[in-house]
């Protein structure tokens, strides 16, 4: 039986005396990507908690906070099917009792200002603030996040380290449609034509990965070619090291892309392996 609570007080009493707590934070509109996180998290704790909260502070003023898809009844059903024990679905007042202006927030630092942070300057401050609040409410032993939002995962790991939070962070691989398109709650905004062109993102990343043995330049060129052929001008296409530091030359790396296809902003990324020695001409 999946229980549903809406307040921190109810959450605390539901978890009193519980053993190890595994936690998956979400904004709802749950899809198979979220379900994969629940499955990953299930064996990591005796109790599995999922939160469903559309966090206003991570949306910019021109963004889709009001339009963001919401269906708590369907989300609860998905959670129940995936073995979630407890759903925490607070309202905005419960999470932000003093409102959202002028409150204490978590500054993400430099890493919060590049890539997604360059396009969405207040986004990661909102994400880290709500994740810190959720951790304080749930007090999990382990929390699971998707690699789909790779910069978010890196920043959450940094926050936990910097603020000495007593929680383990686990990353979970990206879940994709058969076309390769990474699942996202925002894909509902895509028209059929946009959905088709969005599939070029993962093809570009795969092409980049296949070029890995030829070095960083070749990776970027291969990915760029696929995007160009699909008529897609990315917001960014970058190769970083696994910690999102720029210009890796060898070893494990990450290729990240963001693009606006129609209304939504689509993100994707893939792991790349660069040769440990520079390729010879
Ligand atoms: P959201 O509800 O979009 O805030 O996402 C909640 C969690 O699910 C985040 O940790 C996301 O990275 C993760 N997530 C969303 N989509 C996917 C996906 N396609 N594959 C893996 N994880 C995902």
Cβ atoms of 172 and 40 within 8 Å: the answer is: yes
- For 40-81, write each residue's pLDDT tens digit: 999 999 999 999 999 999 999 989 999 999 999 999 999 999
Mean pLDDT of the residues in the chain: 96
At 280 the pLDDT is 60
Report the nearest atom of ligand 1 relative to the CA of 183. Answer: 19
Lowest-confidence pick of 161-170, 184-193, 204-213: 184-193
Are the C-beta atoms of 136 and 97 separated by less than 8 Å? no
- Tokens standing for 32? 């198979």
Confidence of residue 95 (pLDDT cuts 50, 70, 90): very high
Spacing, Cα 122 to ligand 1 middle (Å): 19
Place of tokens 């969405």: 120
Burial class (CB in 10 A: 0-12, 13-18, 19+), 136: exposed
Q: What's the pLDDT tens digit per position in 181-205? A: 999 999 999 999 899 889 999 999 9
Tell me the CA–centroid distance for residue 150 and ligand 1, in Å.
10
**Mean pLDDT, range 261-278, rounded to an integer:** 87
Cα–chain-centroid distance for residue 239?
18
Quote the CA–CA distance of 30 and 27 in Å, as a whole number.
8
Distance from Cα 174 to the centre of ligand 1, integer Å:
8
pTM here is 0.96
Output the ligand 1 site: residues, CB below 6 A.
26-27, 33-34, 36-37, 145-146, 148-149, 172, 174-175, 182-185
What is the reported pLDDT for 151?
Answer: 98
Q: Which of 23, 78, 128, 146 to mutate to test the pocket of ligand 1 (most atoms within 8 A of CB)?
A: 146
Atom of ligand 1 nearest to the CA of 144: 10
């Amino acid at each position: 039986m999946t229980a549903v609570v809406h307040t921190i007080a109810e959450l605390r009493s539901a978890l009193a005396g519980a053993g190890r707590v595994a936690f998956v934070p979400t904004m709802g509109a749950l899809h198979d990507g979220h379900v994969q996180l629940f499955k990953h998290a299930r064996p990591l704790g005796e109790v599995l908690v999922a939160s469903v909260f559309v966090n206003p502070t991570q949306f910019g003023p021109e963004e889709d906070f009001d339009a963001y898809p919401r269906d708590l009844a369907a989300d609860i059903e998905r959670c129940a099917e995936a073995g979630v024990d407890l759903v925490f679905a607070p309202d905005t007042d419960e999470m932000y009792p003093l409102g959202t202006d002028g409150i204490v927030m978590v500054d993400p630092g430099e890493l919060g200002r590049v890539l997604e942070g360059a396009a969405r300057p207040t986004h990661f401050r909102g994400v880290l603030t709500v994740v810190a609040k959720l951790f304080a409410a749930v007090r999990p032993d382990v929390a699971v996040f998707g690699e789909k939002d790779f910069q978010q995962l890196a920043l959450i790991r940094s926050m936990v380290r910097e603020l000495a939070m007593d929680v383990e962070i686990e990353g979970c691989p990206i879940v994709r449609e058969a076309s390769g398109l990474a699942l996202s709650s925002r894909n509902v905004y895509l028209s059929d034509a946009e959905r088709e062109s969005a599939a070029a993102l993962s093809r570009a990343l795969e092409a980049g990965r296949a070029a890995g043995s030829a070095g960083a330049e070749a990776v970027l060129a291969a990915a760029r070619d696929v995007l160009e052929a699909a008529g897609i001008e990315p917001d960014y296409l970058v190769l970083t090291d696994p910690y999102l530091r720029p210009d890796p030359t060898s070893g494990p790396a990450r290729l990240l892309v963001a693009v606006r296809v129609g209304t939504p902003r689509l993100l994707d990324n893939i792991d790349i392996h660069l040769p440990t020695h520079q390729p010879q001409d």
